[in-house]
């Protein structure tokens, strides 16, 4: 796991060397073990290394093949690299690293090598003979890759900050990105919060030479999914899930450094730890966050799993004072603004301090196995589409008492869904993921609202009837939406930036592309969560104690509601004040939102406040003007 940088097209060698050196310095946190540069006319490549496999200096990067034609910078891990190495055959390997396997595989197969890789990755290969650059990103989007393309250069990096600090252009706030952020607490790829800076999409690669460039897709979850699995009965589906997940966990235990696992005591992290304990050759190290506030602490459930599998378990006790002390560092570590992240920052810091450089996480289990309420709600709406025959006025009358009774964000969303023209998933899903109600969005963006809904566009392109003929099962349609929106643009991005802030590599077994392809192809009958993540739980059987299976779902969260009103209040108010002084949002709306939160309005939860605090902090820290 590492950080990569590159500039294509600059002719000034001194300028290229200066910029790539600064970009490497900006990624120092991602790779404390080694660094390297290649600077030639027209190309500059930089690398910061976090050594996980084959720790010797020969595996440092940039790595050039024996002929001197191809040079690689690589961020990630290829879990099946030993198998790929045996397929290549005609390459004289100098190391035992997966990095050299990536280089040799590209030389042998070109872009087709991507279809052979099982892993998480973002990498670039420079071809010195054709003077061309190849850049690729993994299928699911676990590893990030940002770029800015101009008429005379391309600059790319594992993070957005080295690009905007490169001095090659003046970074400005992207107004469409702001609209997206206010709606969904993130900006959806390929766009970012900075005008002109893009993300290479998951499952895509770019080729660029002196006369042209092209971006192509090599993996699509819809066409890759094993739709023949629709015919599987529950027993066959459960066996397939267990076998595939066990294989995924086992392959992710390859490391030449100390490793462990995040353990919340929930179904997903417990499943990962159980299979690690079965497979690992030594005692598994596990880590969980605990709180003084018992209502938020998952310590009891984590300990049940730790005791069952006799792990070397560490509880990270967090007080408001501890968190307050870490908040400035967490905000500074944020590479792109988001409503999530500090959770992972805190536990990653503690795990790294314990001497661990790689850990496994349960991220992805909810998205694959219908762990969120939106899965059941979407199915219920589809089954009740007959209600759309009632006039909108009547539906509005029905919605009002429900909204009044619930007095929550969920009540606001219910009213909005009732008023939609269609209850297909591509229409209802975008409402479910909104941070604020449409009225609040309009209020905050007064004068700046372009009314474009990125999540609707994504959902519509992925699953709308007639869009490419991809007829996934209904629950799989929700999974695909989750993977392409919230998971990719919030969870995975935050997990990468907050773990790598401490040079900690996180691996995510649930997002093994082969497991994803199998589960997305399964029918609603075997996946419907009559109980939480029923297919996964039944597949695991006795691996999971009943106390863990039947516990209330808490999620990995902190007591934010209390902290924002107490220990973090000054921080919140100062950032909201600064944000209101900009011309991009309605200052009166920001103040009203904060006052509603302080007064206990159940429609305005902590997450409706925090992501705006993060936005202002990030814009200030990175010198972005509107």
Q: What is the pLDDT of residues 283-342, one digit of tens each?
A: 999 998 887 666 556 788 999 999 999 999 998 887 767 777 888 899 999 999 998 878
Q: What is the pLDDT of residue 371?
A: 95
The Cα–Cα gap between 358 and 356 comes to 6
pLDDT level of residue 467 (50, 70, 90 thresholds): very low
Per-residue pLDDT tens for 92-141? 999 999 999 999 999 999 999 999 999 999 999 999 999 999 999 999 99
Give the contacts of 368 (CB within 8 A, at least 6 positions apart).
479, 510, 515, 516, 519, 520, 536
Band of pLDDT at residue 276, cut at 50, 70 and 90: very high
pLDDT at residue 415 in the model: 74
Residue 469 has pLDDT above 80, yes or no: no
Active site residue 2: yes
Architecture of domain 2-160+197-219: 4-Layer Sandwich (3.60)
Mean pLDDT of 476-493: 96
- Could you tell me if 221 and 480 are in contact, meaning their C-beta atoms sit under 8 angstroms apart? yes
Q: How far apart are alpha carbons 258 and 285 in whole angstroms?
A: 9
Mean pLDDT across the stretch 248-273?
Answer: 94
Burial environment of residue 333 by CB neighbours within 10 A (0 to 12, 13 to 18, 19 or more): buried
Kindly state the average pLDDT of the residues 74-84: 97
Confidence band, pLDDT 50/70/90 cuts, at residue 555: low
Task: Give the pLDDT band of residue 372 (cuts 50, 70, 90).
Answer: very high
Domain extents for the chain? Answer: 2-160+197-219, 223-369+481-549, 373-475, 560-621
State mean pLDDT over 552-580: 83
Say whether the peptide bond before residue 62 is cis (omega within 30 degrees of 0): yes
Does the pLDDT at position 245 exceed 60? yes
Per-residue pLDDT at 395 exceeds 90: no
The predicted structure's pLDDT at residue 361: 96
Short-list 91, 97, 22, CA closest to 57: 97
Tell me the C-alpha distance between 446 and 469, whole Å: 38
Residues in CB range of 258: below 8 A, 6 or more apart:
285, 355, 356, 357, 358
Distance between CA atoms of 25 and 172, rounded to whole angstroms? 23
Helix (H) or strand (E) holding 2: strand 2-8
Instruction: List, as one string, the DSSP characters of 125-141.
Output: EEETTTTEEEEEE-SS-
What's the number of CA atoms in the CB half-sphere (13 Å) around residue 511? 28
pLDDT at residue 403, rounded to an integer? 54
Q: In the 3-class helix/strand/coil scheme, how is 443-456 assigned residue by residue?
A: HHCCCCCCCCCHHH
pLDDT tens-digit readout, 373-385: 999 999 998 887 7
Confidence bin at 394 (pLDDT 50/70/90): low
pLDDT digit string, tens, across residues 411-464: 677 778 877 878 889 999 999 999 998 899 999 998 788 888 999 999 999 886
Choose, from 1, 2, 107, 133, the residue flagged as catalytic. Answer: 2
DSSP summary character for residue 293: S
As a whole number of angstroms, the distance between CA 259 and CA 255 comes to 8
The rounded mean pLDDT for the chain is 91
The two counts, helices (H) then strands (E), for the chain are: 28, 17
Helix axes 392-406, 409-418, angle to 10 degrees: 170
User: What local confidence, expressed as pLDDT, does residue 393 receive?
Assistant: 57
Among candidates 472, 500, 499, 452, which has minimal Cα distance to 222?
472
pLDDT at 6 over 90: yes
Tell me if 202 sits within 8 A of 140, measured CB to CB: yes
More confident residue, 48 or 290: 48
Answer yes or no: are the C-beta atoms of 223 and 470 closer than 8 Å: yes
- Please name the fold of domain 223-369+481-549: Rossmann fold (3.40.50)
- Report the predicted TM-score, pTM, of the whole model to 2 decimal places: 0.94
Predicted confidence band of residue 561 (pLDDT cuts 50, 70, 90):
confident
Q: Is-contact 130 110, C-beta < 8 A?
A: no
The confidence band for 562, taking pLDDT boundaries of 50, 70 and 90, is: confident
**CB of 5 closer than 8 Å to CB of 146:** no
Question: Are the beta carbons of 446 and 588 closer than 8 angstroms?
Answer: no
What percentage of the chain reaches a pLDDT higher than 90?
A: 74
pLDDT bucket at 536, cuts 50 / 70 / 90: very high
pLDDT in tens, 190-206: 999 999 999 999 999 99
Return all residues near 209 (Cβ < 8 A) that are at least 6 apart: 130, 131, 132, 133
pLDDT at 284 (0 to 100) = 94
Nearest Cα neighbor of 180 from 363, 379, 449 is: 449
Scored b (16 or more CB within 10 A) or e, 228-251 reads ebbebebeebbebbbebbbbbbbb
At residue 466, does pLDDT exceed 50?
A: no
pLDDT above 70 covers a percentage of the chain that reads 93
């Amino acid at each position: 796991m590492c950080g990569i940088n590159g500039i294509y097209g600059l002719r000034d060698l001194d300028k290229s060397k200066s910029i790539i050196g600064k970009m490497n310095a900006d990624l120092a946190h991602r790779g404390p073990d080694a660094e390297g540069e290649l600077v030639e006319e027209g190309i500059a490549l930089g690398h910061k290394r976090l050594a996980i496999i084959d720790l010797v200096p020969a595996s440092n990067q940039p790595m050039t093949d024996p002929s001197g034609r191809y040079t690689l910078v690589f961020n990630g891990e290829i879990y099946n690299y030993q198998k790929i190495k045996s397929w290549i055959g005609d390459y004289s390997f100098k190391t035992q690293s997966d990095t050299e396997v990536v280089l040799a595989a590209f030389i042998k197969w070109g872009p087709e090598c991507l279809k052979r890789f099982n892993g998480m990755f973002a990498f670039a290969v420079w071809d010195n003979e054709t003077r061309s650059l190849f850049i690729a990103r993994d299928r699911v989007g676990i590893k990030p890759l940002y770029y800015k393309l101009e008429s005379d250069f391309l600059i790319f990096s594992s993070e957005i900050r080295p690009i905007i600090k490169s001095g090659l252009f003046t970074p400005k706030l992207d107004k469409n990105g702001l609209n997206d952020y206010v709606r969904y607490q993130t900006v959806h790829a390929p766009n970012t919060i900075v005008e002109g800076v893009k993300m290479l999409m998951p499952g895509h690669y770019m080729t660029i030479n002196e006369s042209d460039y092209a971006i192509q897709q090599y993996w699509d979850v819809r066409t890759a999914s094993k739709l023949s699995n629709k015919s599987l009965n529950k027993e066959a589906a459960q066996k397939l899930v267990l076998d595939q997940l066990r294989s995924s966990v086992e392959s992710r235990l390859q490391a030449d450094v100390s490793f462990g696992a995040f353990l919340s005591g929930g179904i997903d992290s417990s499943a990962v730890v159980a299979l690690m304990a079965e497979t690992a050759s030594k005692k598994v190290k596990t880590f969980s966050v605990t709180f003084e506030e018992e209502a938020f602490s998952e310590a009891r459930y984590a300990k049940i799993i730790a005791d069952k599998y006799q792990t070397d378990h560490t509880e990270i006790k967090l007080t408001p004072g501890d968190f307050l002390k870490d908040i400035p560092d967490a905000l500074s570590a944020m590479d792109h603004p988001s409503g999530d992240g500090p959770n992972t920052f805190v536990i990653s810091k503690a795990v790294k301090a314990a001497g661990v450089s790689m850990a496994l996480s349960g991220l992805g289990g909810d998205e694959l196995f219908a762990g969120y309420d939106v899965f059941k709600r979407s199915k219920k709406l589809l089954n009740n589409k007959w209600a759309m025959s009632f006039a909108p006025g009547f539906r509005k009358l029905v919605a009002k008492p429900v909204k009044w009774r619930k007095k929550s964000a969920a009540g606001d969303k219910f009213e909005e869904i009732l008023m939609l023209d269609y209850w297909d998933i591509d229409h209802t899903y975008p409402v479910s993921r909104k941070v604020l109600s449409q009225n609040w969005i309009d209020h905050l963006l007064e004068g700046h609202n372009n009314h474009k809904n990125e999540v609707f566009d994504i959902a519509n392109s992925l699953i709308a009837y007639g869009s490419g003929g991809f007829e996934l099962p209904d629950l799989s349609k929700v999974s695909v939406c989750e993977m392409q929106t919230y998971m990719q643009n919030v969870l995975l991005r935050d997990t990468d930036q907050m773990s790598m802030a401490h040079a900690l590599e996180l691996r995510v077994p649930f997002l093994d592309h082969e497991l994803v392809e199998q589960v997305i192809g399964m029918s609603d009958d075997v996946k419907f969560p009559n109980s939480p993540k029923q297919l996964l739980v039944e597949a695991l059987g006795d691996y999971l104690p009943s106390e863990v299976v039947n516990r209330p779902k808490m999620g990995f969260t902190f007591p934010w509601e209390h902290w924002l009103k107490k220990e973090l209040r000054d921080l919140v108010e100062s950032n909201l004040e600064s944000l209101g002084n900009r011309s991009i949002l309605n200052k009166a709306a920001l103040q009203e939102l904060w006052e509603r939160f302080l007064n206990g309005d159940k429609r305005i939860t902590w997450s409706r406040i925090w992501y705006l605090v993060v936005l202002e902090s990030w814009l200030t820290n990175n010198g972005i003007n509107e």
